[in-house]
Structure 1
């Protein structure tokens, strides 16, 4: 059977959504090949361009390499090239460097800024519609501020520090929000006063954020005014020059930075394809996303490029939700045709809401037409939506990268947690804690090897009192556990709990909290009181003195266990895993060496995050065993503290983790390239 070729043009939101859907649905069809063509080797998260332009995140934070997105999709071929035309009769996609025959083609080349023919915008303005645009704006702002700091002329200096955004849609308001956050850092870096910066939004309409509920838009307007942003409404820009802009009323605004976000149209690259076009260069499609007039050629239009009227004179909006849904509709129809069921899927929009951020900490959101959020909650919701996007395209890798960039690798407190989650805090001072923490594990594990022997005489190790002889210390209901309980009642701690021997002992003794808590539990007995040993947590007789709750050791008190008796369900699970003493002894011996490995890893700063997380799981298990004491509960918060990159400060994680990321990433995803499809 001849191979069926599906060509997708454009790796934007629509193209990626369509390709992912088809790759999944057609993965068992060996006679189908999907070719994804884009001029870049990466997918850009367009909704976050303002974060790069406004200096919040690094440029690579919004670049998602196509190799990472599609490396596990064996039926997808990636090509980095520019499409120049489509031969509708011969069914061939022409590119600068080749030609690709198709049985089905999906055109999702997106849009481009619309300056409505305003003089000077192309020459002197900055658009925000691509990765390159965002980097260009970022560099221009930094350069302009640096020059302004050295400019002696007050009027010119003021113009250089005046930043104007044209357009009050989502892109424009989010861009001005980033400048609100960034100006303090720019002022500090270049020894300026933040009050010298002037931020303006110029809008031709009398209102802003016209896709939002009026109450939500009003909240955003009040917030921006509070941040000293000037809203210039009912003021179309009629001309742009290098040092000023002219408004329709004849007034001018001196500025060296105009960011134009006033409109979008279909990409001009598709104008020569010979397909029917509507206003704004958008290509007309029917309800199945098929190019109007070429339904028999299997040509589909999706994303910002498509013009389909959901309602009379109301085409699909040029937003992410519409792009993904049009891509999904076209992909579903192609899959149906390939599989032969020819079931038609009509486009039905489902816009679940709109969100706009005004800086990193404040925003407004309208969900399902009836839920309205503002401030912190709106920003949280925006992050949730972005994380859902990575789930939709099945990219755990970039979901993790997004969280790193947005929550942890952030400077100047520019995130939703106001910097509290940033890893740019100095973790060097956690090194002593990490080493001590590992040392605690090592000492306690080593004692289980030595037992009643002498530390300096290896020949006495592994004998009486160690974890390598006798019955298991685990407090499960085997026959020998009853003997252990009886022994415990006479003063010996058979299950690793605290023991105090004799009235003459006033000292600290270490109790092992079942194999792994490695918690140093100080216990003592008052000589005058003649206290007998504390009862074993597994069910020994009551001690002369009741155990006392405490988060640190107090002289003369017996420590209290977190959970006195292991829950029945947990006991049953453990007995299933360890059905007899022999198996229990194997786990017991293994645990000793595991603790030593864990201790060495912590002290060396190797796999610190994993080691600390393992500690948390182990401590939780020991608590459920009824053998962990409140005085040692500090094990858990310390483990959490050490997970914040402490292994990279004077530790092996500084070299090992980056090497693993590179090696495993190359094995799993392959090697990202600047060009795909080249021989």
Structure 2
């Protein structure tokens, strides 16, 4: 069979979805080669650009390396290049550095901000259509606040500290909400009164957030009022200058930062391909997402125009639309290869969600559920996570969770309470104490009469002593350590009744967590430790593990693992009837030291980053700025 070449141009939401699903569906077909071409070596999570612009996450937090996304798919080549033209006659995609043959071509080149020719936007304004623009805006905001903080002239100072967002769509709403959340940190860093930093949203229409249900839009507007974000409706910007903007009522507004989010249009690249274009430059396609005069070319996402509802507006330019277009292209390419009829595009829109900052949002789901606040924001994160599941990338799903919840420097959905940037220095004493507990506990197990490395059974499991179960178990328990229920014999020989407590109290016998092993635990343990031979090996092996845990914790090596195992051992010892309530702190300490405590005076400071690099390289390869077929795999 002749090799089939599928070329996907654009590594955004739609292109990535398409390439991933084709790669999975055709992984057993050795006669198909998929090529993904993008001018960048990474996929940008475009819906989170505002988080970078407002310095809530690191600049690279929303970048996901394309080659790593496809490193396990040998039928995909990742190419870093820019497409210049499409030779439809010879079926070639022409790039700046070469050309690629295709049997099927999928265009997913996205959209870009549309300033509608407003004077001065390109020279003095900011847009938010790419990662570079988000980084540029962030650095500009920092610079403006720094300059405003030391400016003596009140009018000039106002222009520095006034921030204007034009447009109240998804991008504008989320951007101004995120910038407002950054305000207090900016003010503190520059010794400013936070109220001097002012945010204003300008909207040409008489209402704002017109993509939302009016009920949800009203909630959002009330939230903006609460946060002192000024909303100017029926206000159009007619010109942008260095330190002020012109408004449609003839007045001016002082600002050196105007962020234009008032509209989008198809990528300017679309005009160079020679296809028929419709509204806002979007390429016209039929209901099968194909170019009408060439059924081998599919156009999906923001750059495509399908009048699916007959209103003439086209499908919504949102992630769900790009995914739906990708699903249609995948289905029809497979159908054509198998000689089956094509299917129509069907937009799947489960609702709309918009964040108004890191802790508040509004959502309308499945035309039924109205959410706001915590649950709306949580739902937005879940939808973002779902996309990674849809493109089969658990690796990047993990990194999204880490960036959004644990590596966060500012506030987030949980108001920063679970950020790993808490000072781990203060868990250092806990780590040392927990490690020493294991080592001291094991001292009596490795030498002397109480050694666990002899052929004398120490475990108090009654079924291992068939002759005198009760007395033997009681005797064995005499050598059980402090960490695993030491001096259990004292409980049986002492006349003092055990007393519940979380610290040792003179004159009282500490109470075990469980006096006897629960029946279900006993059943499991009998299977794992059925006889004396296995029990002897088990008690020796367990002692070695305890010593290793102690050493790892003291030197700060693999502390996440050592802390987790410490907590697990406490649970096991408790259920086995070998642990006291007074030592339950070890469970809490085990969890506490998992939060990177090895980075403070420990080997993990260098070992963990080294291990992450090695494992990432072994499974996903080396990240590069430029990919081509000979360097992709």
SS in 2 for 1:495: helix
Distance in 2 (alpha carbons) for counterparts of 1:284 and 1:27: 31
Output one character per residue of 1:368-394: Cα deviation in whole Å (capped at 9) or x when no partner: 222222112222222222222222222
Return 5+ residue gaps in structure 1 as ranges.
454-463, 498-510, 524-531, 536-541
Contact 1:549 1:630 (8 Å CA) reproduced: yes
For residue 495 of structure 1, what is the aligned residue in structure 2?
477
Distance in 2 (alpha carbons) for counterparts of 1:60 and 1:519: 46
SS in 2 for 1:74: coil
Shift of 1:613: 0.9
Larger RCO, structures 1/2 (Cα 8 Å, 6+ apart): 2
Shift of 1:306: 1.1
For residue 178 of structure 1, what is the aligned residue in structure 2?
178
Distance in 1 (alpha carbons) for counterparts of 2:469 and 2:549: 29
For residue 103 of structure 2, what is the aligned residue in structure 1?
103
For residue 523 of structure 2, what is the aligned residue in structure 1?
572
Contact 1:276 1:292 (8 Å CA) reproduced: no
Shift of 1:356: 1.2
Distance in 2 (alpha carbons) for counterparts of 1:370 and 1:558: 60
Contact 1:548 1:558 (8 Å CA) reproduced: yes
Contact 1:521 1:632 (8 Å CA) reproduced: no
SS in 1 for 2:352: strand
Q: How does 1:1-150 map to 2 (within 5 A)?
A: 1-150=1-150
SS in 2 for 1:127: coil
Output one character per residue of 1:468-494: Cα deviation in whole Å (capped at 9) or x when no partner: 2345434445352553522355xx3x2
For residue 443 of structure 1, what is the aligned residue in structure 2?
440
For residue 512 of structure 1, what is the aligned residue in structure 2?
481
Output one character per residue of 1:347-373: Cα deviation in whole Å (capped at 9) or x when no partner: 222211211111111111122222222
Contact 2:484 2:578 (8 Å CA) reproduced: no
1:478 matches 2:434: no
For residue 292 of structure 2, what is the aligned residue in structure 1?
292
Distance in 2 (alpha carbons) for counterparts of 1:636 and 1:341: 61
Which among 367, 385, 388 is matched to residue 386 of structure 2?
Answer: 388
For residue 399 of structure 2, what is the aligned residue in structure 1?
401
Contact 1:6 1:35 (8 Å CA) reproduced: yes
Distance in 2 (alpha carbons) for counterparts of 1:226 and 1:481: 73
For residue 422 of structure 2, what is the aligned residue in structure 1?
425
For residue 539 of structure 1, what is the aligned residue in structure 2?
none
Q: Decide which moves more: 229-238 or 475-484.
A: 475-484
For residue 308 of structure 2, what is the aligned residue in structure 1?
310
Contact 2:501 2:581 (8 Å CA) reproduced: yes
Contact 1:521 1:631 (8 Å CA) reproduced: no
Q: 1:623 to 1:253 in 2, by over 3 A?
A: same
SS in 2 for 1:64: strand
SS in 2 for 1:126: coil
Contact 2:78 2:629 (8 Å CA) reproduced: no
Q: How does 1:503-652 map to 2 (within 5 A)?
A: 511-512=480-481, 518-519=483-484, 533-535=490-492, 544-652=495-603
Contact 1:278 1:284 (8 Å CA) reproduced: yes
Shift of 1:593: 0.9
Q: Decide which moves more: 561-570 or 194-203.
A: 561-570
Q: 1:481 to 1:80 in 2, by over 3 A?
A: farther
1:361 matches 2:312: no
1:465 matches 2:450: yes
Q: Decide which moves more: 198-207 or 185-194.
A: 185-194
Shift of 1:630: 1.6
For residue 375 of structure 1, what is the aligned residue in structure 2?
373
Return 5+ residue gaps in structure 2 as ranges.
none
Q: 1:133 to 1:178 in 2, by over 3 A?
A: same
Distance in 1 (alpha carbons) for counterparts of 2:183 and 2:331: 46
TM-score, normalised by the number of residues in structure 1:
0.89
Distance in 1 (alpha carbons) for counterparts of 2:398 and 2:327: 25
Contact 1:522 1:553 (8 Å CA) reproduced: no
SS in 1 for 2:14: helix
Output one character per residue of 1:559-587: Cα deviation in whole Å (capped at 9) or x when no partner: 22223332333323222223321122112
Distance in 1 (alpha carbons) for counterparts of 2:236 and 2:134: 24
Output one character per residue of 1:432-465: Cα deviation in whole Å (capped at 9) or x when no partner: 1111110100111221112xx2xxxxxxxxxx43
Output one character per residue of 1:621-662: Cα deviation in whole Å (capped at 9) or x when no partner: 222223222221111111111111110011000000001111
C-alpha RMSD over aligned residues:
1.9
For residue 507 of structure 1, what is the aligned residue in structure 2?
none
Shift of 1:96: 0.7
TM-score, normalised by the number of residues in structure 2:
0.96
For residue 256 of structure 2, what is the aligned residue in structure 1?
256
For residue 322 of structure 1, what is the aligned residue in structure 2?
321
For residue 334 of structure 2, what is the aligned residue in structure 1?
335
Structure 1 runs (4+) greater than 3 angstroms displaced = 470-477, 519-523, 542-546
Contact 2:462 2:469 (8 Å CA) reproduced: no
Output one character per residue of 1:220-278: Cα deviation in whole Å (capped at 9) or x when no partner: 10111111111010112222222211121212111111000010111110112122211
Shift of 1:341: 4.8
Output one character per residue of 1:403-429: Cα deviation in whole Å (capped at 9) or x when no partner: 2222222224x1111121122222112
SS in 2 for 1:238: strand
Output one character per residue of 1:177-221: Cα deviation in whole Å (capped at 9) or x when no partner: 122111222222222221211210000111111121211111110
SS in 2 for 1:15: helix
Whose radius of gyration is greater, 1 or 2?
1
Q: 1:98 to 1:146 in 2, by over 3 A?
A: same
Distance in 1 (alpha carbons) for counterparts of 2:549 and 2:464: 32
Q: Decide which moves more: 3-12 or 363-372.
A: 363-372
Output one character per residue of 1:511-563: Cα deviation in whole Å (capped at 9) or x when no partner: 427xxxx257578xxxxxxxx9423xxxxxx9644322222222333322223
Q: 1:171 to 1:468 in 2, by over 3 A?
A: same
Shift of 1:301: 0.8
Distance in 2 (alpha carbons) for counterparts of 1:193 and 1:562: 54
Contact 2:444 2:450 (8 Å CA) reproduced: no
Q: Decide which moves more: 256-265 or 560-569.
A: 560-569
Distance in 2 (alpha carbons) for counterparts of 1:482 and 1:277: 90
SS in 2 for 1:212: coil
Q: 1:479 to 1:302 in 2, by over 3 A?
A: same
Contact 2:465 2:473 (8 Å CA) reproduced: no
Shift of 1:31: 1.0
For residue 615 of structure 2, what is the aligned residue in structure 1?
664
Distance in 1 (alpha carbons) for counterparts of 2:478 and 2:579: 10
Shift of 1:175: 0.7
Shift of 1:54: 0.9
Greater share of residues in helix: 2
Distance in 2 (alpha carbons) for counterparts of 1:326 and 1:482: 74
